[in-house]
Each structure stands twice: as structure tokens, then as C-alpha cells.
Amino acid sequence: MITALIVTHAAFGGIALLSATLAVIFKKGGKQHKGWGRVFFYTMLLCSISAMITACLPDHESPFLFSVGIFSFYFLFTGWRALKYKEADVNLKWDKALAFFMLVFAPVMMVAPIFMFGVINIVQAVFGGALLVFAIQDLRLFRNPEKLKKNWLVQHLSRMLGAYISAITAFIVVNQLVPGIVGWLLPGVIGSILITYWNVRLGRKNKKEVV
């Protein structure tokens, strides 16, 4: 069963990486972008869930793998939910519940290796810190429905790209394309810079349209 889960996880991860790449390439909002985006969402969702299940099985317990699964799931879920934010009467019950959960889980994720193994896991600490920042950001945004509706596209693409970066990171680490901790953190650093640049451009475009 464990072998089947690992193989399934790897298969879904490969499909998720390919479909996300195609979704990024095709025109945003177009039929092909939406189609490949759906494939990415469902395969990445199954990839995250299978990682969390595997991390809880006997002789395969891994708090780190479980945390990475939660990390990927958070970006994927919030990116998908952002599509609903453009609606006037969107129900944010589950969005808020997940954000509040992350307020608790993220600090635990950061300090757990210290209590369990007596060491600091830099990757886990960085990922946990990122989760904490985004959870706080989301809860603040949920208090402002107008701003939430206005920024739905930024939220959608930023978070889905975050999930895409998770898939790229997994591919790099599993295939040892970049050694050590660099392989875990470098894709996130580069991706964050690109996402920030894109968000700035989108913000300027929105201002021009308003004027």
C-alpha cells in the first residue's frame, strides 16, 4: 500500500507539474488555461493529500513531509478559492477556518523539529514562516470585502503560482538537480521575485484602467 501511495504521489506530481506549465503558457482566462488549470488543481490536490497520508503511515512517519503537504495544499486551496472572491456574496467560512488553522499550525511547523529532534530545520522554518505571513495577510483581507473582490486575480495567480513553485521544488529535490538546502529554497526565492514583479505590473495596469 505504501509503495502504491508513493508511486501514485509521484505520478500525480508529474502530471501537476506538466499541466501547471501548460496553464502558465496559455492565455490567461482562455479555454486551454482553464482546462489545464483544473488538471493542475486536482492532480496537485491528490499529490498533497497522498504526501500527508504517507507521512502518517507506520515506519514512514515524517513531520517534514506532512508539513510540506500542508504547505502545498494551502497555496492550492487559496488560489482556487480566489476565483470566488469576485462574487459579491462569497461565503468565507472555510477560507477563514483554514487561515486560523494556519495561525496555529505554522508556528508548530517552525519549532517542532527543535522539540522532536533537537535541531532547527531551516526549510521547515522558512515554509512555516511563509504560511504564517500569508495566513495573517488573508485574515486582514477578509475584513475588507471590497479590496478582496478587487484583488481576486492577484490572489488567484499568486497562490496558484505558489503551488506551482512547490511542484517545481519537489521535482528539483527528488531528482537532485540542485544539491542540499539550496534545492529546497532557490525555486521559492526566484518564484517570489517573479510573482512580486507580476503583481506590481498588474497593479499598475489596474490603476490605468480605473483612470
| Residue pLDDT, tens place only, 88-107 | 788 999 999 999 999 999 99
Q: What is the pLDDT of residue 194?
A: 86
Rounded Cα distance between 93 and 114, Å, is 33
Q: What is the pLDDT of residue 211?
A: 41
Q: Residue 209: which pLDDT band, with cuts at 50, 70 and 90?
A: low
Helix (H, G, I), strand (E, B) or coil at 202: helix
Rounded Cα distance between 112 and 132, Å, is 15
Confirm if 155 and 85 have CB atoms less than 8 A apart: yes
Q: Residue 200: which pLDDT band, with cuts at 50, 70 and 90?
A: confident
Rounded Cα distance between 62 and 64, Å, is 5
Q: Hey, what's the torsion of the CAs at 123, 127, 133, 137, to 10 degrees? A: 160
pTM > 0.85 = yes
Rounded Cα distance between 37 and 178, Å, is 27
Per-domain residue ranges of the chain? 2-210
pLDDT surpasses 70 at 171 = yes
